[in-house]
Amino acid sequence: MDSDIILDILGNETRRKILATLSQEPMYFNQLAKELDIGQQAVLRHLQALEESGLVETYTEKSKLGAPDRKYYRLNNSFILTISLSEDDFTVTKQEIVESRHKESKKYYKVLDLMPEDAGEALASLQESLSDIEAEMSALESRLSDLRALKQLILSKLHKIGINSFEEDERKILYKIVTESPSSIAELSEMMDEKESRLKTTISAMRNKMNKDNAKTLLDLQ
């Protein structure tokens, strides 16, 4: 799913509330409307939008009291959406949440494989594991935050060099080459939606502004 579509969907507060509620457990339509204290028609419209986007899916369960079957709604996607906004960077990235079973996480998977039958003991075990996982995630997030700050400093330097030493068209090419490392003029042309001939002409002018060895390393695209 495209990140722009996700951002558009999540821009609505009611849809965010629906997703938050369904993250706890699946619900049928009337149950969800009552839980959120929102009109049924409004909830239905938002559920349709969420279902069409693929964030929510439905399934049917037979009623135990002989009533008509009930259609339940549940979340249907697992991903992380990251928005990076700073003076020198704006990116939106979407990463699927997948079970990779890295060796560092095996101890937590073992907890699931060896879950106690007693509900109280099982809950205590789950609480302890969640607490440990949250602590590890917090440490990793701190490291990621430091790397993002370092990336911002590097991008700031890149933009200052670009502004001080290159023309506007040259800067666009420079930023694309440094940040995305295209392997060829054809790849760069596709990235920038520019003709190869025009890119070659501009890159040739850029070479004249750089040390020969540095120009070969940075601008030697075939």
> For position 59, which CATH number holds?
1.10.10.10
Residue at 196 is within a domain: yes
Residue whose structure tokens are 């009623």: 63
Task: Report the predicted TM-score, pTM, of the whole model to 2 decimal places.
Answer: 0.74
Domain residue limits at 143: 79-152
Rounded to the nearest angstrom, the gap between the alpha carbon of residue 25 and the centroid of all alpha carbons in its chain is 23
Closest of 175, 168, 190 to residue 90, by C-alpha: 175
| Pair 90, 148: CB distance under 8 Å | no
pLDDT at 100: 87
Residue at 47 is within a domain: yes
Same domain, yes or no, for 85 and 117? yes
DSSP string, 175-215: HHHHHH--SSHHHHHHHHT--HHHHHHHHHHHHTTS-HHHH
| Pair 192, 176: CB distance under 8 Å | yes
In 37-118, which ranges are continuous DSSP H helix? 40-53, 106-113
pLDDT at 186: 93
| Pair 177, 219: CB distance under 8 Å | yes
Same domain, yes or no, for 59 and 113? no
Distance of CA 178 to CAs 88, 131, 171, 181, 188, Å? 14, 40, 10, 6, 11
| Pair 171, 162: CB distance under 8 Å | yes
Picking from 43, 75, 107, the residue at the C-terminal end of a domain is 75
Residue at 120 is within a domain: yes
Same domain, yes or no, for 58 and 8? yes
CA–CA dist 191, 185 (Å, integer): 10
Same domain, yes or no, for 23 and 46? yes
Picking from 75, 99, 126, the residue at the C-terminal end of a domain is 75
CA–CA dist 159, 146 (Å, integer): 20
Same domain, yes or no, for 58 and 83? no
pLDDT at 61: 87
> What is the distance between the terminal CA atoms of the chain, rounded to a whole angstrom?
33
pLDDT at 59: 94
Same domain, yes or no, for 68 and 86? no
Residue at 123 is within a domain: yes
Per-residue pLDDT of the chain (222 residues; tens, 9 = 90+): 788 889 999 999 999 999 999 999 999 989 999 999 999 999 999 999 999 999 999 999 887 777 788 899 999 989 999 998 988 999 999 999 988 888 888 888 888 888 888 899 999 989 999 999 999 999 999 999 999 999 999 999 999 999 999 999 999 999 999 999 998 999 999 999 999 999 999 999 998 888 888 888 888 887
Same domain, yes or no, for 9 and 66? yes
Residue at 200 is within a domain: yes
Picking from 99, 121, 152, the residue at the C-terminal end of a domain is 152
pLDDT at 220: 82
pLDDT at 194: 92
Q: How many domains does the chain have?
A: 3
Phi, psi of 6 (to 5 degrees): -60, -45
Same domain, yes or no, for 86 and 64? no
What b-and-e string marks burial along 176-197, b requiring 16 or more CB atoms within 10 Å of the CB? bbeeeebeebeebbeeeebeee
Residue at 157 is within a domain: no
The CATH number of whichever domain residue 209 belongs to comes to 1.10.10
Same domain, yes or no, for 63 and 12? yes
Residue at 133 is within a domain: yes
